[in-house]
Amino acid sequence: MVARFARLIALLTVVVPLAAIAVAGSAHAASTLPPAKIHYVARAANGIGVPYPTTRETYPVTDGDKTVQVPENMCYVPSGDFTCGSGEAATTVHLDSYCIGMFDVTNAEYKAYLDANPQVKAPGYWVNKTFPSRKANHPVVEVSLSDANAYCDWISRETGRQIAIPTSQQWEKAARGPHAWLYPWGNTADAGYQGGIVVTKFNFNAVTVSEYLTKHAKQQVTYNDPQSPYFGRKTTVDRIAAYDASGVPTYLSIGAGASVHGWANPVTRTGFIYTDLFASLKLVGGGTTPIGTYEAGRTACGCYDMAGEVWNWCNTQIVATNGVERGKTVNEIRGGSWYTVADSCVSVSTGEGRDPGQVYNTVGFRIVMIPAKQ
């Protein structure tokens, strides 16, 4: 089992050329290096340490005439107005100051929580309460909103801080920054495909497809949905196709703007997501990448992976207007994921939500902290 996980993880290693950026006004960028006594449970791809969840170390941020002590690996968002939503639906919203996780909560952090609370159930893709090999610094997934709130409650009890899952508005303000962009860096996805490599500032479905087409094109796969007329048919990665009702194939490929073709046809239940290869990907927590991989996708306040990677739970209920939950009262999710197309990874609401009591291999979470009153 361990050997199989190691092999599957090896298939997911993605090398994507990323442009470096400097983030003006990032509170964390201006902070001093954390003291050596901090216990790190993992390190981000860019080398930033991920501290034990209940670490009490902070760094100071000056906000006007006050100094705020911000927990390590969190970013400060000052109070003020911001543009919430886009187009005719845009409104001006005022939020008090708060701190938000620099990264999604990782497998390593969630394991620390489980080790301290052995009664808590581990995510389904873990074995013996241990995450897959080489995924310590990947976002944890298959955690319900109820589980995520329990994680926050644990940190609150241990540290005396007010820790929670962000509201949709808190999440959006941190992601959009002062310019109210649709993505953390601007108003377009700014992704492309050149020479078999996805050039991108974030992790979305083209990253996974590019990896397989480039390195595993001749690997044998099987259509595995029993409801599909193509069930049991074998092919190779480069010949995976989403067939229409007439049998016309759209082969797995990446086009302009890094758009993915052949990902899925729900009518014939064919395409990449209806293969045993995709099923094996789900066994190791999906096509996530290490946190901090996409430096150019960093937000103005200093957060990473708020576009793509994993959807983030929000403590805001909506009636879903998109996805299979359309028309249901659910908790909103924000940011898109490794599974979604680039256009779904925007910083504004896409109308997507999920049942707070269920788990999903595309949904993780980050936390917020409300600073003590000065």
- The pLDDT score that the predictor gives to residue 32 is 39
Q: How far apart are alpha carbons 358 and 362 in whole angstroms?
A: 12
Gap between the terminal Cα atoms of the chain: 52
- pLDDT exceeds 60 at position 221: yes
Q: How far apart are alpha carbons 117 and 113 in whole angstroms?
A: 6
Helix (H, G, I), strand (E, B) or coil at 239: helix
Half-sphere CA count of 127, side-chain side, radius 13 A: 11
What is the set of domains in the chain, with CATH numbers? 2-33+40-189+290-370 (3.90.1580.10), 204-282 (no CATH)
Cβ pair 74, 59 in contact under 8 A: no
Q: How far apart are alpha carbons 261 and 253 in whole angstroms?
A: 5
- The pLDDT score that the predictor gives to residue 196 is 85
pLDDT digits over 115-166, tens only? 999 999 999 999 999 999 999 999 999 999 999 999 999 999 999 999 999 9
Structure tokens at 133: 């090999």
> What is the mean pLDDT of the segment spanning 280-284?
95
- pLDDT exceeds 60 at position 10: no
Find the farthest-apart pair of alpha carbons in the chain and give their distance in angstroms, rounded: 68
